[in-house]
Structure 1
Amino acid sequence: MGAVRKVVNYLGLGGVDQYDDHYDDEQYEEEYMPASERAARRWRSTVDPSRIVMVQPLKYNDAPMIGQHFRDGQTVIMDVTGMPMPEATRMVDFAAGLAYGCEGRIERIADRVFLLAPAHVEIETS
């Protein structure tokens, strides 16, 4: 290969190389599934559904712990009474977004105490 051809190929100005391998579309095709079913499959409970986790975060940096329990399919009771009001507000906003994103629910059950329930858990109020 000449020096000019090497420079042209290096700069990406040369022709496109033909590949011998063929891309197998059938291997990568997936059956169409509505978004709600994909989400339900993704967030399916991997633990005992009767387990409830009580969490009392002291700072906003505890949010990933709450998220992990909730994403694992556990019902979470979050008590933010020990947090300063601005951080408690951020934590509740985080929990609301988490519940919405995972198709769950968030309910206020007492002053600064919230219940985060995954989609498979039914909440009855009277």
Structure 2
Amino acid sequence: MSSVKKFKEFFGLAPYEEGPHDAAYYRDEADYDDTAAPGDGYAPANRGTGRGYGYTPSRTSYEPRSYAPTIVPVRLVSFKQCTRVGEPFRAGDAVVIDLNAMDRDEARRVIDFAAGLVFALRGEMRKLSPLTFALIPDDVEVTIAELEDAAGLR
């Protein structure tokens, strides 16, 4: 067989010639009995009794709150104090951030952090003054007046 003919057969441009060994392979019939049900003769698998086989959900459903959310005022001096903003907000409390004691670049970093936090936890961010912001969780209802009182703007 020439290489051109092999090339044509490979790309489907010429009919494929079956050799004597190829045709015999397809004429064989199966020697096995395919009527037997799979798993006959075996004991049922006993799963979940050994260590590591049980199912434990990674997260349990949260119970509804039994307390009213509070407004937590936070005055930041550096970006390293952002945990003081994230932890109460994640717990479900409204947070008022005062950035007046920070330089402009760090204040922008804190605002970006707070915006990401609000987006991730489906909350709301309100601007109370040029450098004072309020982060309000999704299921919390507070008025602007309450937020301004907590920030010391009234």
TM-score by shorter chain over 0.5: yes
- C-alpha separation between the residues in 2 aligned to 1:86 and 1:56? 16
SS of the aligned residue for 2:115 comes to helix
How has the CA–CA distance of structure 1 residues 46 and 62 changed in structure 2, closer, same or farther, with 3 Å as cutoff? farther
Mapping 1:43-58, distance limit 5 Å = 45=65, 47-49=67-69, 51-58=70-77
Match in the other structure for 2:89: 70
Report the TM-score when normalising by structure 2.
Answer: 0.52
Partner of 1:88: 107
Shift of 1:123: 5.6
Deviation at residue 65 of structure 1 after TM alignment:
1.3
1:68 counterpart letter in structure 2: E
- What secondary structure sits across from 1:82 in the alignment? coil
> TM-score w.r.t. structure 1 length?
0.62
Partner SS state of residue 86, structure 1? helix
Partner SS for 1:28: coil
CA RMSD after TM alignment: 3.0
Contact 1:52-1:75 at 8 Å conserved across structures? yes
**Structure 1 range deviating more: 63-72 or 114-123:** 114-123
Which structure exhibits the higher relative contact order, with contacts defined as CA atoms closer than 8 Å and separated by 6 or more residues?
1
What is the one-letter code of the residue matched to 1:28? Answer: Y
Looking at structure 2, the residues matched to 47 and 60 of structure 1 have their Cα atoms a distance apart, in angstroms, of 30
Q: Is the 8 A contact 1:45 1:72 kept in 2?
A: no
Q: Is the 8 A contact 1:57 1:82 kept in 2?
A: yes
For 1:28, which of 55, 65, 68 is the aligned residue? 55
Q: Per-residue deviation at 1:84?
A: 0.4
Q: Give me the whole-angstrom Cα distance separating, in 2, the residues matched to 1:104 and 1:54.
A: 17
Identity %: 29
**Superposition deviation, residue 108 in structure 1:** 0.9
Asked whether 1:119 is paired with 2:138, we answer: yes
Q: Which ranges of structure 2 fall in alignment gaps of 5 or more residues?
A: 1-44, 145-154
The alpha-carbon deviation at position 80 of structure 1 amounts to: 0.6
Q: Per-residue deviation at 1:22?
A: 4.6
Structure 1, gaps ≥5 residues long: 1-20, 31-37
